[in-house]
Chains A and B, each alone.
Chain A
Amino acid sequence: MRKLMLGNEAVARGAWEARVAFGSGYPGTPSTEILEALAVYPDVKVQWAPNEKVGYEVAVGAGLAGVRALVTMKHVGLNVAADPFFSSSYMGVNGGLVVVSADDPGMASSQDEQDNRSMAKAAKVLMVEPYDAEEARWMTREAFALSEAFDSPVLMRMTTRVCHHTGVVHPAERAEFTPKGFVKDIPKFVLLPNHARARRVKIEERLQKALAFSEQSDLWNPIRKGSSDIGIVTSGVSYGYVLETMPEASVLKLGITNPLPMERIRAFAKTVKKLVVVEELEPYIEEAIRAAGIQVHGKDILPDTGELNLPLVEKALLGHVRDKVTAHPGDVKIPVRPPTLCPGCSHRGIFTLFRDMKLRVMGDIGCYTLGALKPLAAMDACMCMGASVGMAQGLEKFGGPKEKGKTIGVIGDSTFFHSGLTGLVDMIVNRSQATLVILDNRWTAMTGGQPHPGTGKDIHGEDAPQLNVAEVCRALGVKRVREVDPYNLEATRKILEEELAAPEVSVVVAVAPCLLGARIPKGEPVEINLETCNRCGACIRVGCMAIHEKDGFPDVDPDLCGGCGVCEQVCEPGAISLPAGK
């Protein structure tokens, strides 16, 4: 059977074939579709966790119960789950545990470009790397068996172009697997120091066993015999570029990249005149080969930042690029089209206020990070999930009178449940006077509208318990919690001013659903009276795709505008009118 699948869908298929009983994780590009695809299969329990750490821990618990479990996240998500990830390495497994880290070379949708192959090495767990969708299927399926055979969690390291490429997959029958049930084993599973010291030795033993397996495995680490002039060692997506650039070369393709089968590499190197490692990002394989005393090329001819592609590999291996001549528009300046908040988005009005009130804004990860872009430009820092809360506290405490009364943290509801809660606890007990704005739109929007603890739905769309953001904040001990309608700019501004002036921690919850997540149909557009318009440009400066310039005047695109009314409220001469009935 041949079936077209996204790399992420193929992971889900492989997990289902391996009779995985449980899938968990937190949405994050490029990993999100794995759990969404897995949730469609029968006999699997799939759930979104509030963050990667919790998702990982529930998967470990499921594994202790003797079933196979899958946990998925983007590369930076593994930082959040690093504590259980490193410690679960010491426990080993009962039912197989596979953790997918979806790395993002080139940072198409991320704040950093970390190469998580080093995480597997540091945690001393097995690592596998698929190169395309079909490999993603069978490697996921087999990774559970590896996990159980070598008593280790298995890190499946993927990258954007593997996750988000679509290719031909050959689905297979489901494997046999009987859940083992809970096995009581205190020295193995209770990581007291004296137990952990014993486990530390076991880790090295298990890696040696895995190494022996990897050294002789033609399935996982196949050698393609070709010309003896050049031998290429590669893994993951880079394999495709190598095949296409040099179909005649000898290639050792590593499917298991921790532990690295160095004797296999050494033997392969002896069969060729020149050895080259083609790998994306860090010189992970190259450095290990060099440390083993084998001469090798790699980052001397290939970049160590950004994605690889065919021309880069051609240049490195052939010395030239094959397709040099292109159709060309000539000397024309093409205006950029950066991503932007959707027309009608509930974040637009509140970021317009942040800008106009000249607030100091500590931002966070989500669609609203786009509030940092022109013409809003209403964000001063953004680091990682949940960080806005702590950063706002620190800046407000040490910024002196200049930052006093104007420092806010802004965080989405999904991000708040992910890792903002503990930051708010810290604000309360350490008597911060900063203001936290929580954008409660009920969905994890940037990754495509996944439900979170405040949504009231689960991954299947079934009703689930719904946590109320304002109630949670009050229950934690915040005395000043205000809810606002972010489409009402005047009322929102008044409340922001009051809370910023209050000499204690306050939370402003902006409540309005994500139009995409809640599937709210587009409304009627606004109209602009060009005779009243004084061309001040205030409507343009709310940064909406539905308004653009035409002959020196603002022009509304009726196919995009849903009449949210933000531009109408900033228009001083009153030239913009709302659709009837609004």
Chain B
Amino acid sequence: MDITNILFAGVGGQGILTSSRVLALAAVHAGLDVKMSEVHGMAQRGGNVDTHVRIGKEVPSSLIPEGAAHFLVSFEKLEALRYMHYLRPEGVAFVCPTEIHPLALNLRKDESYVKDIDKVLETSAPKLVWVDATEMAKEAGDLRMVNVILLGALSTRLPMGPEDWEAAIRERFSAKVQEACLASFKRGIQYVSAPV
């Protein structure tokens, strides 16, 4: 079965659910089958959150096995590391260089973040792409744009066409923010397409 697996990771409240839903909608517009799995309830309260999206001609189940993700999209660095083992060794990780510290328990010997995390991430996923979506969203004047910027970056590697993405974004977001979302989405595409 030819299935593309995309894992989204981050911290509850970062917009991970919204991103995965837009991706799934784009797949539907492209005539593909899609299954997505998400987390609700207690796990959402400030804890780590992951959603699984699987697209293809026929998708029987919704959970991505470890080592089977073609893409990892992480909204936060520590969470990229936490879910890294879901990625295939040759898989691509899109990581937003945001740091959200987990709850500290002790002031004097705090171990709430991994030292040299950038290097650890780059070593574990050779095909890692940094996407500073937070910075771009700040420039655009709306922090909520982080998710569409990351989606824009991801979209360059997926089979859906620009019209499928536009339809998905228009379906998911209210008329008030649609144009801003589309512009930010394009910004994400340009960011990873621009020659370095």
Query: Interface on A for B, CB 8 Å cutoff?
Result: 2-4, 29-30, 32-33, 108-109, 132, 161, 164-168, 237, 239-241, 243-244, 247, 309-311, 314, 321-330, 332-342, 367, 369-370, 374-375, 446-448, 535-537, 540, 543-545, 547-549, 552-554, 557
Contact = CB atoms under 8 A, between A and B. Distances in A.
Given A30-B40, A337-B82, 17 more contacts: A4-B25, A109-B41, A109-B42, A132-B62, A161-B37, A168-B28, A311-B66, A326-B88, A334-B82, A337-B79, A337-B102, A369-B42, A370-B42, A536-B107, A540-B105, A540-B107, A547-B104
B110 A548 contact: yes
A248 B68 CA distance: 21
B84 A327 contact: yes
Given A109-B40, A109-B41, A322-B65, A548 B88 contact: no
B73 to A, nearest CB: 14
A367 B43 contact: no
Contact of A335 (B84, B85, B111): B111
A168 B26 CA distance: 12
Interface in B46-99: 46-48, 59-63, 65-68, 72, 78-79, 81-82, 84-89, 91, 93
Contact of B108 (A132, A337, A447, A537): A537
Contact of A309 (B33, B63, B67): B63
Most chain B CB within a 10 A radius of its CB, from A334, A337, A544, A553: A337
Most buried by A among B67, B87, B93, B124: B67
Contact of A240 (B25, B60, B68): B60
B124 A330 contact: yes
24 contacts: A4-B28, A29-B41, A29-B42, A132-B62, A165-B36, A166-B35, A166-B36, A168-B28, A168-B34, A237-B61, A241-B61, A243-B61, A310-B61, A326-B86, A329-B81, A333-B111, A334-B78, A337-B11, A337-B102, A340-B45, A370-B42, A537-B107, A544-B103, A549-B101
Interface in B106-161: 106-108, 110-114, 120-121, 123-125
Contacts of B1: 244, 247
A554 B38 CA distance: 34
B21 interface: yes
B39 interface: yes
Q: Count chain B CB atoms within 10 A of each CB in A4, A132, A322, A369 and give the residue with the most.
A: A4
Contacts of A544: 103
Contacts, number: 211
A326 B85 contact: yes
B78 A2 contact: no
Contact of B113 (A309, A314, A329, A335): A335
A165 B105 contact: no
Interface in B163-183: none
A340 B108 contact: no
Most A C-beta atoms less than 10 A away, residue of B41, B68, B82, B100: B41
B45 A548 contact: no
B12 interface: yes
A243 B60 contact: yes
Contacts of A2: 28
**Which 8 A-B pairs rank lowest in CB-CB distance, beginning with the nearest?**
A29-B41, A109-B41, A240-B61, A326-B67, A549-B110, A537-B107, A339-B47, A323-B67
A108 B60 contact: no
Chain A binding site: helix, strand, loop or mixed by DSSP? loop
B18 interface: no
B190 interface: no
A256 B128 CA distance: 47
A337 B47 contact: yes
Nearest to B66: A326
B88 A327 contact: yes
B54 to A, nearest CB: 10
B24 interface: yes
A323 B88 contact: yes
B102 A335 contact: yes
Nearest to A2: B28
B174 to A, nearest CB: 16
B21 to A, nearest CB: 7
A161 B44 CA distance: 16
A400 to B, nearest CB: 33
A164 B40 contact: yes
Nearest to B171: A4
A554 B28 CA distance: 47
Contacts of A327: 67, 72, 84-85, 87-89, 91, 93, 124-125
Contacts of B35: 132, 165-167, 240
Name, among B63, B113, B121, the residue most crowded by chain A CB atoms within 10 Å (CB to CB).
Answer: B63
A109 B42 CA distance: 5
Contacts of B105: 374-375, 540
B84 to A, nearest CB: 5
Nearest to B42: A109
A335 B109 CA distance: 13
Contacts of B67: 323-327
A339 B12 contact: yes
Contacts of B86: 326
Nearest to A238: B61
A301 B28 CA distance: 36
Nearest to B91: A327
Nearest to B20: A166
Contact of B38 (A3, A165, A241, A321): A165
Nearest to B72: A327
Given A330-B120, A537-B106, A309 B65 contact: yes
Nearest to B11: A337
B63 A340 contact: no
Nearest to A370: B45
A425 to B, nearest CB: 29
A166 to B, nearest CB: 4
B193 to A, nearest CB: 24
